[in-house]
Structure 1
Amino acid sequence: MLPSLLKSSLLLLAAALPFSSAERMISSSSLNPCQSNSSFSANLFQVTFTPNNRSLDFKIQGVSTISGRVNAEMELLVYGYPALKQSLNPCKNKELEGLCDMNPGPIELKSNLDITPDVMSKIPAIAYTIPDLDAMVRIRISRLDTKEPLACVEAELTNGHSVAQKPVAWVTAIIAGLGLVASAITSGLGHSNTAAHVAANAMSLFGYFQGQALFGMCAMPLPPVVAAWTQNFQWSMGIIRVGFLQELATWYQRATGGQPTTYLSTLSTVSIDVQKVKRGLEHLGRLVTRSNAGSGPGERVVFHGIERVGFRARIETSNIFMTGYIFFIIFLILVTLGVIAFKFLCEALVKAGKMKHDQFTDFRNGWQTVLKGILFRCILIGFPQMMVLCFWELTRRDSSGEVVLAIFTMVTMICVLAWASSKVIRIAQRSIAMHKNPAYILYSDPVSLNKWGFLYVQFKAAAYYFIVPILFYVLIKAMFVGLAQGNGVVQAIALVLIEAALLIGVSVMRPYMDKKTNGFNIAIAAFNFLSAVFLLVFSNVFNQPGIVTGVMGVIFFIYNAAFALVLLLMVLVSSGFALFTKNPDTRYQPMRDDRGSFIKSQTQLTTELDALGATARGEGKGQHARAGIDDDDDSFSSHTLEQRQMAAKEGAFTEHYQPAPPRSPVDPGFHGQPSSSPSANASYYGRNSPTPSYGRAGSLRNEQPYRAANNSSPWQRGAGYDH
């Protein structure tokens, strides 16, 4: 059953990924012990098998404590399945005569063997093309007479093909970035509904990429295809190699009292083992105690988790934290410069007459507020990355300067997002207290919407608080990934519980803005939970056969690759419609929380809610400039609500209020329905009617008499409130 399933999986994978190479080959560069107290160790192991000329080139340098005649047994494992087993008697094999009578001391072997055609026929052609070949050669050495086991070594085999491809990383990064840019442009053009949908999906896609990267950073051994696949998304965690940045990180570490590692520059003398799934072997533990000073000749180093990710990216382990930190700072700087450049570009195009004066008006007039909101969103995007790296740095302590940076960054980001979240909750609670609807103030004030909207626009108005559970989810997940690098089983169990909690939460509460967005995020949560279960299997907590782990590694890659492709296409299509459609809002139904009636847009006011939204935003002659609930003028301690309303009536707070009072969308003296007469409708919507005055946050003072005469206020409908 399992062999047939394995064969089918391999054939499917090979058909889906037809990699090509100028020359077929199978090679290995690391020989690792697979037995405690092994009597043979190698610090240099390079073997290359080329089927075109049937040659096997190898170079081995090691140390042996074995004496006397020995026998060797070779075993080939493919995805955990024992494909070949053969006895090798050095005394009967001319190529291995040097090992017939072994003596303690250093061993150096260098040769070029000619492989016979019958051996060649036993190697399937798929072995040369399948990406991230999960194959291993294991050699057990025992005494010829007593059969006493003396040594066990194993070598991972590779054919040079991998699913870890730079084009994949570039494509995923560009599409995720395109979604965020498209949402910003669409919002500037006045299509707030489309912008909210595209931004929500783009942020969820980016979160899925970060989740894949975090799975690759976990400490449990991973099948080669899983480690390679998750490596494609490490750019989302700032793990990107740039030569001069590595030099800068090394300089900073030395300048602040640290000592950089030198593993990448000592590969000729140090055997590096990138930890993979062990095939039923006893736990060997950390074979080498590493230090920041680097490695000495004959040393063997095992990389796992974040170290494994950094080594695959060709980044020294002591530079991983600084690399992620530097890229986060560069990201913030580039975004800031991009917004400023776009502001000046818009002004130049308007002056040149190549852009209409009413395009991007809100951005051009309030670009500084928009920039603040964008920077807050960038902090939210970088939150998982910096939390994992900062927690991990606290366990490594590469230098005192880096530890200080980690603590400062971690505390700052947590405080900023916690304060922003509390700000949103306070605004929403005030809106509920005044208007029985959180959407009223959350969406009516452009300044607050531009600055804090990144925390709540993806959720329905009644679930404005759901950003708090999301932040807790990210923080706890980052803590386990960053702090528990020494125990992959603990990480796996914790991730299963964390992902299960999120999946249950989003499935039961459905907090996102509409059915499609809820489905989008529920699917991501479900796939993340499934991936966490796979990681639990990879940790070998169930002690399953190697073939099970090998097949599950291939399945992990296939379903995540297919799902990522679907998500990418969805975001790409929605971004295309947003950018190239004349009125992209027609693709989306209005939100049931009536946010569209409060958000400033370019559409005509056609409903009572629209008129109310215009009044709340301060549009029209004699209206207040804004709702006045920004952080700089929002203080519950300085004035009570009644004091602020009285001060507004007496002429205080003149920076927010004009002499003429705002217009009410409802005539308090009219209790019927709007008629078909334009003049009557004009009176109904408050154009010619007596108007009550607003309080500081745009509340209707004479709202209560009208509510008493009318059981249900129109702006409560669709917000999740039944009265």
Structure 2
Amino acid sequence: MRLSLFFQLSSLLALSFAHDDSLFTSSVSYCAPPEAILIRQFDISYFASNDSVVFNVTAASVAPNLNVSAMVLLNVYGMKPVNISLDFCHVLGNVLCPLPQYNFSGSGSIPLPQGVDVASHVPSIAYKIPDLEAFAQVTLIDTSTQQVKACVQSTLSNGWSTRQPAVSWATGGLAFLALIACLWYSSAEGSTSLAPQRFIDLMFLYQHIGSTGLLNLNYPVVFTSYTLNFSWALGLFAGSTAIQNAIDSMRRRTGGNGQAAVGVIETVNRKFSPYNDVVVPSPLTRRFVSPPVEIETSGNSLSAGIPTYTNSLGIAATDAFMSVFFTAIILFAIVLVLSLFLLGGVALYARITGKATSSHLKFWARANFLRLSLITFGPIFIFSFYQWTLHDSWLSIVLSVIVCLVVGVTVVVNAIFLLIAIRRSSPDEIDRHMPSRALFSPLYGAYRLSRYWYFIPVFAASFLKSLFVGFGQKSGTVQVIGLLAIESLLGLLTIFARPCRTRRSDTLTIYLCVIRVVSTGLLIPFIAHLEVKPIPRVAIGLVNAVILSVTVVIMFIAIVLNLLPWSSMWRSLRRKNGSMESLPSNASNSDEKSIISSHDRPLNPTPPASHSLPLEMSEPSSQSAHHANNHLLPTHAGAISPALSSASSYTSYGHELGSPRSFS
């Protein structure tokens, strides 16, 4: 595997060195009404190695005897390093002088004149930086009347971008690995592994990265492209044309405006665009051209935030909620079918063999629905709140209300049942009661028993962030300040409460909180009215992307480490060294406990005196098990009488149950 990874990295490195330093047009639009020339294709590439231009132009001239010269202006991150003039009568052997009065196509490669020094004006970083924000303006001027006959603006690219399908597939593969670990460890009765919680943490991290691109801010293109790699975690998938057409049809029939998605040209039709700046030629050439036309942005431009983000994926802003809704429906349907298939298979096996089966799987299946509700909570509420601000389709609004109630009630009701059960007994009894642990572990399973309430501020923070992102699309300033305040308060609470079962888990949880605070704070320079220059914004966006990428790598390491059986590996190593055979049996047991204690927090193995367990719970009969089950779980939770397992022996610092098989 390492050798394969080495060859992959070597091939990528070779490709990067083989990439020529070049700039080429990626999209074209008119910057003035066409009068005498209609342009259908305008592909131009500049190669720095030989200072040449390769072009492929298809146009039609409707004016006779038209001789033109071209004024070429270049805008790179707000700077205008190039301002040159080319006379068509002195290139290509005068074949374009005058312009042919018919449809014509021309392509070729020409070296730039010696007096035109483009290389010295374009910094070398422009050929390497991903998602280059640059455009060229070409104005064709009648050499006899000095009037503008055509004006074309074209975005430029260097071929590099932070939006890569491979990144989406890799992060999706990591999420799938975490999901398998979550299902495997949570299906084991009495499991204390943190793998299920790491899956939730990973999905929350992905959703945080994706949602940072949903705010009404003047993002650099490089950061928006980076966040689009994680759009799938928000339930938004690019390229689903059939689904989008079906959603558009549904909206048109239910009071929607029928507006479809538009292709996003990041430096053209978004609200904060360098195209909106008037490009004025230099004083030496100003007398040859009329002032360029400023592009109108009121009608066709996309507002920053959710509209630009979703349209970049080929999804209209008015279709965003329905796209997330269908994704959530598909996920819940998959979980339901798999759960029914598993439970049906277990029931059939029990009927054939006549063996009794544990009711743990029923609570495990219900816990998976709770986990899925926690994961989909943020995206569903964000896009539901945003849908309510559009006043578009009444069916979309009704469905958004229904799905919010279903997901919200699922989380809230289970939280209330957990609090009621704890109030009736104690956190220790709930954790030792296997049905309760299986059912409520998505809420409190990762935390110390004295910090079981920590899921409440986490859940509240997710809801408040959804409010700011969904309803606050009019003001990016309010969004950033609100999100930064929420993340900061949650981070401070985490630092002081240290809610997790192990030191390593506390460290990872605090680190994730700090990263969310830092990444949210780095969005402040993107606030439009601060008018931060383009280059500093791009640098900050790259730094933010690197920080978040490192966090994803750290989560990958944490998930992999959780998959390894550290206790078994340690014991095998001790046996191999012959140390365990030389110890008495009681010494071996105490040594094993000391090994566990180096990784986990201590535990009071006996419950507090005020919450002593009933005598019958130590040797449960069918009647006592039923009594204990009713005592610990509310009747609304639908608990089924399971066998109660005795408490395991955990030791570490603190007074709660530890997690001896968990790394972090």
| Stretch moving more, 320-329 or 548-557 | 548-557
- 1:452 lines up with 2:440 in the alignment: yes
Alpha-carbon spacing, 1:570–1:443, altered in 2? closer, same or farther (3 Å)? same
Q: Who is 2:281 aligned against?
A: none
Q: Who is 2:234 aligned against?
A: 237
Q: Who is 1:627 aligned against?
A: 629
Q: Aligned to 1:425, which of 419, 422, 425?
A: 419
Query: 1:268-307 maps to which residues of 2 (within 5 A)?
Result: 273-274=269-270, 278=274, 287-289=297-299, 300-302=300-302, 304-307=304-307
- 1:328 lines up with 2:328 in the alignment: yes
CA displacement at 1:211 relative to structure 2: 0.3
What's the CA shift string for 1:481-523, capped at 9, x where partnerless?
1122233233222222222222222122222232212211211
Which amino acid letter does the alignment assign opposite residue 540 of structure 2?
M
- 1:157 lines up with 2:167 in the alignment: no
Alpha-carbon spacing, 1:30–1:502, altered in 2? closer, same or farther (3 Å)? farther
Q: Who is 2:209 aligned against?
A: 212
What's the CA shift string for 1:216-263, capped at 9, x where partnerless?
112212212211111111111110143442343233323323243234
CA distance, structure 2, for counterparts of residue 285 and residue 429 of structure 1: 64
CA displacement at 1:380 relative to structure 2: 0.9
Q: Who is 1:498 aligned against?
A: 486
Q: Who is 1:380 aligned against?
A: 374
Contact 1:223 1:276 in 2 (8 A): no
Query: 1:323-472 maps to which residues of 2 (within 5 A)?
Result: 323-344=323-344, 362=358, 365-431=359-425, 438-472=426-460
CA displacement at 1:348 relative to structure 2: 7.3
Which amino acid letter does the alignment assign opposite residue 539 of structure 1?
I
What's the CA shift string for 1:161-210, capped at 9, x where partnerless?
3222223212212322322331332233346222xx11222211110100
Q: Aligned to 1:116, which of 111, 129, 141?
A: 111
| Stretch moving more, 519-528 or 20-29 | 20-29
What's the CA shift string for 1:532-557, capped at 9, x where partnerless?
12211122443333221122122222
CA distance, structure 2, for counterparts of residue 184 and residue 583 of structure 1: 26
Contact 1:31 1:153 in 2 (8 A): yes
Q: Who is 1:718 aligned against?
A: 655
Contact 1:135 1:157 in 2 (8 A): yes
Query: 1:609-620 maps to which residues of 2 (within 5 A)?
Result: 616=617, 619=620
Q: Aligned to 1:254, which of 252, 258, 261?
A: 252
CA displacement at 1:112 relative to structure 2: 4.2
| Stretch moving more, 576-585 or 45-54 | 576-585
Mark the runs of 5 or more structure 2 residues left unpaired by the alignment: 1-10, 62-67, 279-293, 573-592, 658-664
Q: Who is 1:174 aligned against?
A: 173
Which amino acid letter does the alignment assign opposite residue 298 of structure 2?
V
CA displacement at 1:309 relative to structure 2: 2.3
Query: 1:510-549 maps to which residues of 2 (within 5 A)?
Result: 510-549=498-537
Q: Who is 2:467 aligned against?
A: 479
- 1:88 lines up with 2:92 in the alignment: no
Contact 2:135 2:156 in 1 (8 A): yes
CA displacement at 1:129 relative to structure 2: 5.3
CA distance, structure 1, for counterparts of residue 53 and residue 325 of structure 2: 48
What's the CA shift string for 1:558-602, capped at 9, x where partnerless?
22222212212221332354999799998786864749889xxxx
CA displacement at 1:71 relative to structure 2: 9.8
Q: Who is 1:508 aligned against?
A: 496
Q: Who is 1:316 aligned against?
A: 316
CA distance, structure 2, for counterparts of residue 115 and residue 273 of structure 1: 31
SS of the residue corresponding to residue 627 of structure 1 reads helix
What's the CA shift string for 1:362-389, capped at 9, x where partnerless?
4xx3433322221121111100010111
Q: Who is 2:662 aligned against?
A: none
CA distance, structure 2, for counterparts of residue 463 and residue 473 of structure 1: 17
Contact 1:175 1:572 in 2 (8 A): no
Which amino acid letter does the alignment assign opposite residue 111 of structure 2?
T
Which amino acid letter does the alignment assign opposite residue 507 of structure 1?
I
CA distance, structure 1, for counterparts of residue 275 and residue 470 of structure 2: 26
CA displacement at 1:465 relative to structure 2: 1.8
Contact 2:271 2:301 in 1 (8 A): no
Which amino acid letter does the alignment assign opposite residue 718 of structure 1?
H
Q: Who is 2:660 aligned against?
A: none
Contact 1:56 1:112 in 2 (8 A): yes
CA distance, structure 2, for counterparts of residue 317 and residue 278 of structure 1: 22
CA distance, structure 1, for counterparts of residue 565 and residue 352 of structure 2: 28
TM-score, structure 2 normalization: 0.72
CA distance, structure 1, for counterparts of residue 620 and residue 40 of structure 2: 75
Q: Aligned to 1:225, which of 222, 225, 228?
A: 222
Contact 2:133 2:221 in 1 (8 A): yes
Alpha-carbon spacing, 1:596–1:572, altered in 2? closer, same or farther (3 Å)? farther
Contact 2:525 2:537 in 1 (8 A): yes
CA distance, structure 1, for counterparts of residue 523 and residue 471 of structure 2: 17
Q: Who is 1:638 aligned against?
A: none
What's the CA shift string for 1:682-702, capped at 9, x where partnerless?
xxxxxxxxxxxxxxxxxxxxx
- 1:49 lines up with 2:59 in the alignment: no
Q: CA RMSD in A?
A: 5.3
- 1:551 lines up with 2:546 in the alignment: no
CA displacement at 1:622 relative to structure 2: 6.7
Alpha-carbon spacing, 1:595–1:155, altered in 2? closer, same or farther (3 Å)? farther
| Stretch moving more, 512-521 or 200-209 | 512-521
What's the CA shift string for 1:5-32, capped at 9, x where partnerless?
xxxxxxxxx9989658898863334457
Contact 2:360 2:642 in 1 (8 A): no
Contact 1:178 1:575 in 2 (8 A): no
TM-score, structure 1 normalization: 0.67
What's the CA shift string for 1:414-443, capped at 9, x where partnerless?
333223222222222333xxxxxx422321
Contact 1:25 1:48 in 2 (8 A): no
What's the CA shift string for 1:646-682, capped at 9, x where partnerless?
xxxxxxxxx9799xxx9999xxxxxxxxxxxxxxxxx
Alpha-carbon spacing, 1:472–1:143, altered in 2? closer, same or farther (3 Å)? farther
CA distance, structure 1, for counterparts of residue 22 and residue 59 of structure 2: 19
- 1:131 lines up with 2:119 in the alignment: no
What's the CA shift string for 1:100-159, capped at 9, x where partnerless?
99xxxxxx9975464425657556776555532333446799999xx9x99998643223
CA distance, structure 2, for counterparts of residue 462 and residue 143 of structure 1: 81
Mark the runs of 5 or more structure 1 residues left unpaired by the alignment: 1-13, 63-68, 102-107, 290-299, 432-437, 599-606, 636-654, 666-713
| Stretch moving more, 164-173 or 323-332 | 164-173
CA distance, structure 2, for counterparts of residue 57 and residue 150 of structure 1: 19
Instruction: State, as a whole percentage, how many aligned pairs show the same letter.
Output: 17
Q: Who is 1:6 aligned against?
A: none
CA distance, structure 2, for counterparts of residue 259 and residue 224 of structure 1: 29
CA distance, structure 2, for counterparts of residue 544 and residue 17 of structure 1: 36
CA displacement at 1:33 relative to structure 2: 9.4
Alpha-carbon spacing, 1:278–1:138, altered in 2? closer, same or farther (3 Å)? same
CA distance, structure 1, for counterparts of residue 485 and residue 139 of structure 2: 40
Contact 2:42 2:55 in 1 (8 A): no
